[in-house]
Amino acid sequence: MSLDKPSVSYVCQRCGNCCRWPGDVIVTPEEIGLIAKHLDVSETEFIENYTRLSANRKHLSIIDKENGSCLFLEGLNNCKIQSVKPDQCKGFPNKWRFDGWRDVCEAIEVQGIEEN
């Protein structure tokens, strides 16, 4: 989606709410390699055990837990694959946003460019 205030960016407060938001967490082929290595499993094992087809059936997405949160969310706000998390996770909310994001995201608005 288009970003409404290009001169404004958001500093993540690590609330973990975006990791609980139901929906796809897309992983690219390169990210699959990095995450599989981080988890010490083969890429095939990672794909079979940790991913599903995205809603549009064009990509692979990390599996959701029954409550809709990401499989790799531990506790309130700890990402089990933080050092190799997908670009989708790094880019929210400065590079992309979902409808209603401001109601759940606790990021603080600042002037200038920020990334998670």
Residues β-bridged to residue 19 = none
Contact 41, 49 (CB under 8 A): yes
The letter for the amino acid at 4 is: D
Residues β-bridged to residue 62 = 51
Binding mask 16-55 vs ligand SF4 (x if CB under 6 A, - otherwise)?
xxxx-----x------------------------------
Judged by DSSP in three states, 90 sits in helix
Binding mask 51-90 vs ligand SF4 (x if CB under 6 A, - otherwise)?
-----------x-------x-xx-----x-x---x---x-
**Contact footprint for ligand SF4 (CB under 6 A):** 12-19, 25, 62, 70, 72-73, 79, 81, 85, 89, 92-93, 104-107, 116
